[in-house]
Amino acid sequence: MRIRAIAAAVSGALAHTAQLLLVLALFAAAGGTLTGCGRVAEVRARQVADARARQVADAWDDSEAARAWRKGYHPIGEAVDLPEDAFHDISDKLAYEAQNLALRGQLPATPGKNGRVKWESGASLTLPLMEARQAYEAVARGSNGGPHLTVTGVKLGEMTLSTSRGPATVPAWLFTLDGYDTPLKLAAVRPSKPLTPPVKPVAEGSGDTLQLVRTARDGRSVTVLSSHGACDDGPAVDVLETDGSVVLSASVVGTKEGPCTADLLLEEVTVKLNRPLGDRVLLDAFTGRPVPYERS
């Protein structure tokens, strides 16, 4: 799963490069001189970035997309809950990471077509249930002869995970693993359909430049995966907070002298907020879309 997430982040980072070039063109066209006037260029770039963040916030706040976001089921936490004592040894850990599972027995039929997501506020949402076969294949894609985990039983139960509307109790497939006292859980309902943003991306076809890694328990910070190159000092993420949204703007800082490779680096950046995220929409300034959760 992490390989797919990193691949998505890499794709987004390449789009991010194109977006940065567009930003440079924007403030150069506005009269900034890049050669010999680094400070002027920096100020203009900051102005462009701030204006873009404000544009995204204004478009989303009180929009139909924001209202749909708050009514939907959008996980911002891991859809897989590992056994409490995972893992017993390195072999089991490697087996899980390689998704090398072996099924002993039969998968059960799905009891009904729909399941209910329930929030602490009392709100709920009915969504289609994922069949046991689909759930098993989502965590058991490995097929090599190395270490494996044995699934000895499967049943439908529940799990709690973080969503854009706070903690929710959701239907989950529970996989009993040989040698473990508690099951591996996988959410049995899929997230609501992606929303149509009320604002266009900086560049058409741009990917996700940021991936959400986690939200602090108190909601006062978010950690995102951001990209940068081998010839800079690392990523930076600025934030614009409004009553309805939190807009993150990714960039890179500094440059390094000497030969430069084409390496693409990914780094976690923690952004502190003035108040808890709550049900505000976490947005990427470049794409104009909600920051996707990076599923490991």
164, 187, 210 — which closes off a domain? Answer: 187
| Most confident region among 3-7, 74-78, 121-125, 145-149 by mean pLDDT | 121-125
Query: What is the pLDDT at residue 111?
Result: 86
Instruction: Judge if 27 and 64 occupy the same domain.
Output: yes
The band of 197, judged by pLDDT with boundaries at 50, 70 and 90, is very high
Question: What's the pTM value of the predicted model, to 2 decimals?
Answer: 0.71
Instruction: Judge if 46 and 182 occupy the same domain.
Output: no
153, 169, 187 — which closes off a domain? Answer: 187
High-pLDDT (> 70) share of the chain, %: 78
Query: What is the pLDDT at residue 29?
Result: 39
Summarize the confidence of residues 162-184 as an average pLDDT.
93
pLDDT digits (tens, 9 = 90+) for 48-64: 889 999 999 999 998 99
Query: What is the pLDDT at residue 20?
Result: 46
Domains in the chain: how many in total? 2
Instruction: Judge if 138 and 106 occupy the same domain.
Output: yes
Phi/psi for 160 (5° steps) reads: -115, 135
Domain-located, residue 161: yes
Lowest mean pLDDT among 4-18, 68-82, 142-156, 187-201: 4-18
Domain-located, residue 292: no
Domain-located, residue 254: yes
Query: What is the pLDDT at residue 254?
Result: 67
Domain-located, residue 21: yes
Query: What is the pLDDT at residue 256?
Result: 65
Domain-located, residue 58: yes
Query: What is the pLDDT at residue 32?
Result: 42
- Greater model confidence, 204 or 181: 181
136, 158, 187 — which closes off a domain? Answer: 187
- Greater model confidence, 166 or 66: 66
Query: What is the pLDDT at residue 76?
Result: 82
Query: What is the pLDDT at residue 228?
Result: 67
Instruction: Judge if 63 and 203 occupy the same domain.
Output: yes
Instruction: Judge if 201 and 278 occupy the same domain.
Output: yes
For residue 6, pLDDT beyond 80: no
Domain-located, residue 93: yes
Residue 91: domain span: 80-187
Instruction: Judge if 167 and 113 occupy the same domain.
Output: yes
Instruction: Judge if 39 and 86 occupy the same domain.
Output: no
Query: What is the pLDDT at residue 230?
Result: 64
Domain-located, residue 294: no
For residue 180, pLDDT beyond 80: yes
The band of 4, judged by pLDDT with boundaries at 50, 70 and 90, is very low
Domain-located, residue 177: yes
- Greater model confidence, 183 or 256: 183
Instruction: Judge if 277 and 142 occupy the same domain.
Output: no
Measured over the CA atoms of residue 129, residue 133, residue 135 and residue 137, the dihedral's sign is negative
Instruction: Judge if 102 and 243 occupy the same domain.
Output: no
Instruction: Judge if 6 and 32 occupy the same domain.
Output: yes
Query: What is the pLDDT at residue 263?
Result: 66
Instruction: Judge if 200 and 58 occupy the same domain.
Output: yes
Instruction: Judge if 166 and 88 occupy the same domain.
Output: yes
Summarize the confidence of residues 59-79 as an average pLDDT.
90
- Greater model confidence, 196 or 175: 175
For residue 18, pLDDT beyond 60: no
